[in-house]
Structure 1
Amino acid sequence: MARLVTRVRADVRLDGVTLLAPVPRPGKILGIGLNYADHVAESKMEPPTDQLWFAKMPTAVTGPFSAIEIPMVSDALDYEAELAFIIGRRCRHVSKSDAHKFIFGYCAANDVSVRDWQFRTTQFLLGKSFDTHAPFGPWIVTADDINDPHELPIRCFVNGELRQKSNTRNLIFNCYAQIEHLSKVMTLEPGDVIFTGTPGGVGWGHKPPRPLRSGDRVRVEIDGIGAIENLVRTETKSH
């Protein structure tokens, strides 16, 4: 993972730079669904007995303060505030007790979702993989600077209105259990990004649903890590 990290001078002013995604093209972006009890309840689903995984394509990555787009083919855009972690060492068949050794660090993330495409079939991939729909950052806080990744307050605001408020202690399957489970199936490699699930309060949990609109601002905050904030805009056709 060290080869993916660019060393910069500590005195660079943040207001003089544009922060890009800390891992611009991950080999894998994996997300777990239904991983907070209140989100399970608002989704009208049964609590999971096993981990529910989907992928987001690497082309969905965008910067922590870059725009996210309402796609031309849908207006069912939703937010999901999440803790994300970055794999730091190649691993396979890792126990839960050893899993922490393979995490490089943590980010705030928004698992932006296009709900009609997500639920069009039983496979979530397309609804999770539109371009610009995987902002995370604003940087990677290394694992040695996080005392306990399962005691982090997490919040989401839309235009300053608090929509989601929880704590990572409420994860049904915690970060280490996620690594144990995934590594039974596949090799996890440095730079892979894992989205750990969202708490209740998503737009589609409201009655009626509250989709994101052009001009909205979505902010995800995690104490001890930082915040990302993305302007919502309508996609324009590129050539």
Structure 2
Amino acid sequence: MRLASTFASDQDPIKRKADTMLASAWVDGARRAVVVDDDRVGVTPIPGLDAAVRGGFDVAGAVTEWRDRCAVVLDAPLRPPVVFCLGQTYSSHVQEKEVAGHPADDHPELPEFFLKAGQTIAAPGRPLRLGPTRITKLDYETELGVVIGTQAHFVTAEQALQHVFGYMVVNDLSARERQIRTAPDGTRRMAADAAKNFDGATVFGETVVPAAHIPEPGSLAVTTHVNGELRQSDTTGALLFSVGELIAFVSRHLTLRPGDVIATGTPGGTGWSTDSELGGTGRTPAGCAPGRYLSAGDQVLSAIERVGHAVVDVTA
């Protein structure tokens, strides 16, 4: 996997991350919860970070040995049965497309809410193959992922962050041609189900940052580069609903349990923005190149300040 030299600067969000990074890794054929420390990995007997979160275990305190990072194979840090996804949470994303029920100048009263199946979660380094998916309009969406640490049901926004275990990067890959339905009269409506659920559609960063390292997640830089070209650039401070409000919103619908993951939505700059056929308005975030759909040979780097990054390569 290549990682463009564009991101070597100490000022890049990849570099500005917390020291303690937690993950899941395959070690001698078994999946284990691990601590990632630069080029080495602290191995625990806990069967994956999922089990550590559910059991309330201290991962760092459970390390029994250290190995070179190259001696283990990192898996997706968590593999929940579903991922809770929120949309229409940044005005820049709302304004970059025009869809019936979601006008481009609208400030939604509530976020969009949909689910992605757990089997869409890709292993780190696994490419997204366009051929088997038959997707023609593959799009990227870099998002802050929230990992729930304790059960939450009908919590308030003020209480919500107390239930967070940690944060990670999520790329919510989307098949736009499946997301927009055009009626005979020309009106368009959104249908997230098939557009968001296909093999490899959910890309997690390799690691989770404990919430203690990010007590206030409301001012983190969010960027997407495609082949080194900046496409998305915003901060979580631009969320129309705070992270606490988003957690509280989901908890009013479903009881959140330890290990659940919430994807908090993406800012503007997606490929959809330049697709007039599907309602793209042509808006491009300041300092970014115009959005375009992904094609074979592209590499997408999703980065969130102090959290980390996720990389996916697109192949034929």
Q: CA deviation at 1:64?
A: 3.7
Give CA-to-partner distance per residue, 1:45-79, whole Å, 9 cap, x none.
32211121111111110134321232433211000
| Counterpart AA for 2:123 | G
| Counterpart AA for 1:3 | G
Name the counterpart of 1:53: 113
Bigger shift: 147-156 or 206-215?
206-215
Give CA-to-partner distance per residue, 1:178-231, whole Å, 9 cap, x none.
111111121111111111010110011125772111111000111111111111
2:296 is aligned, of 214, 218, 222, to 214
Name the counterpart of 1:225: 307
For residues 13 and 85 of structure 1, the distance between their equivalents in structure 2, rounded to whole angstroms, comes to 28
For residues 213 and 124 of structure 1, the distance between their equivalents in structure 2, rounded to whole angstroms, comes to 21
2:142 is aligned, of 55, 59, 81, to 81
Number of positions where the alignment pairs a residue of Structure 1 with one of Structure 2? 233
Bigger shift: 10-19 or 195-204?
10-19
Q: Are 2:262 and 1:194 equivalent residues in the alignment?
A: yes
In structure 2, do the counterparts of structure 1 residues 106 and 161 end up closer, same or farther at CA, with 3 Å as the change threshold?
same
| Counterpart AA for 1:192 | D
For residues 164 and 4 of structure 1, the distance between their equivalents in structure 2, rounded to whole angstroms, comes to 35
Larger RCO (CA within 8 A; separation ≥ 6): 1
Q: CA RMSD in A?
A: 2.0
In structure 2, do the counterparts of structure 1 residues 162 and 4 end up closer, same or farther at CA, with 3 Å as the change threshold?
farther
| Counterpart AA for 2:87 | G
- 1:24-173 to structure 2, matched below 5 A, reads 24=79, 26-44=80-98, 45=104, 46-70=106-130, 71-120=132-181, 122-173=190-241
For residues 162 and 235 of structure 2, the distance between their equivalents in structure 1, rounded to whole angstroms, comes to 22
For residues 166 and 50 of structure 1, the distance between their equivalents in structure 2, rounded to whole angstroms, comes to 21
In structure 2, do the counterparts of structure 1 residues 155 and 66 end up closer, same or farther at CA, with 3 Å as the change threshold?
same
Q: CA deviation at 1:107?
A: 0.3
2:165–2:210 CA contact under 8 A, matched in 1: yes
Q: CA deviation at 1:4?
A: 8.3
Give CA-to-partner distance per residue, 1:9-55, whole Å, 9 cap, x none.
6743334433211112x133111111111111102332211121111
2:205–2:311 CA contact under 8 A, matched in 1: no
Give CA-to-partner distance per residue, 1:68-113, whole Å, 9 cap, x none.
2324332110000111011111121101111011111100110100
- TM-score normalized with structure 1 length: 0.90
In structure 2, do the counterparts of structure 1 residues 144 and 220 end up closer, same or farther at CA, with 3 Å as the change threshold?
same
Name the counterpart of 2:75: 20
1:4–1:191 CA contact under 8 A, matched in 2: no
